[in-house]
């Protein structure tokens, strides 16, 4: 007969991850009321859904990377001859975890619904050509010292998307 301690060890591990460790939502249903309010007037196109899925993968991969110095990494991107969506995206999401004004959440890749932070990133990429709007949108989510670099990263992501 199995005691309760060994029964506990044989249970499969939960899929949820503490919010302070990641910004990828494994089970997005827990805040569906917020998602509905944010996305009820936003109907993404097929191209936007493809873009957000690419961004979700980058957000997940950025969780696995170590912390980088944002300013130094941006200078390296500026000096690099080869630009890639992946390099900009990994730096963007990695730095966003550290410099956001509040915790951000992204659904797992392939999820049907969009979260409020995913809608914000899509709108940020769409408004990257308008410097004033880009500045306001970045200021809404990002701490003051890092805003300049996030405007640069958002413009690079929009250009390469």
Q: Domain boundaries in the chain? A: 21-160
Q: How many CB atoms lie within 10 A of CB 153?
A: 26
State the pLDDT at residue 103.
81
What integer best gives the mean pLDDT of the chain? 80
Is residue 66 very low, low, confident or very high in pLDDT (cuts 50, 70, 90)?
Answer: confident
pLDDT of residue 3: 54
Closest by alpha carbon to 48, among 117, 126, 150, 128? Answer: 126
Q: What are phi and psi of 71, to 5 degrees?
A: -65, -45
Q: Give the tokens for residue 147.
A: 């805003």
DSSP state of 113: S
3-state secondary structure of 100: strand
Average pLDDT of span 11-28: 47
> Could you tell me if 58 and 86 are in contact, meaning their C-beta atoms sit under 8 angstroms apart?
yes
Retrieve residue 120's tokens.
């914000």
pLDDT at 11: 43
Q: Give the pLDDT score at 52.
A: 93
For residue 100, which phi and psi values (nearest 5 degrees)?
Answer: -75, 150
Which 3-state string (H, E, C) describes 49-76? Answer: HHHHHHHHHHHHHHHHCCCCCHHHHHHH
Q: Is the pLDDT of residue 70 over 60?
A: yes
Q: Of 14-18, 51-55, 151-155, which range is least confident?
A: 14-18
Contact of 115 with 32, CB cutoff 8 Å: no
Helices (H) and strands (E) in the chain, counts: 8, 2
């Amino acid at each position: 007969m199995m005691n309760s301690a060994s029964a506990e060890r044989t249970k499969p591990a939960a899929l949820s991850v503490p919010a302070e460790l990641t910004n990828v939502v494994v089970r997005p249903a827990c805040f569906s009321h917020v998602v509905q309010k944010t996305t009820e007037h936003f109907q993404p196109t097929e191209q936007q859904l493809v873009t957000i899925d690419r961004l979700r993968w980058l957000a997940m991969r950025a969780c696995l990377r170590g912390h980088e110095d944002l300013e130094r990494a941006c200078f390296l991107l500026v000096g690099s001859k080869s630009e890639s969506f992946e390099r900009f995206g990994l730096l963007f999401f990695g730095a966003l975890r550290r410099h956001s004004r509040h915790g951000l959440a992204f659904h797992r890749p392939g999820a049907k619904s969009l979260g409020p932070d995913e809608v914000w990133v899509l709108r940020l990429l769409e408004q990257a050509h308008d410097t004033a709007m880009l500045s306001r949108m970045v200021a809404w989510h990002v701490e003051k010292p890092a805003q300049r670099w996030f405007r640069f990263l958002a413009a690079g992501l929009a250009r390469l998307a």
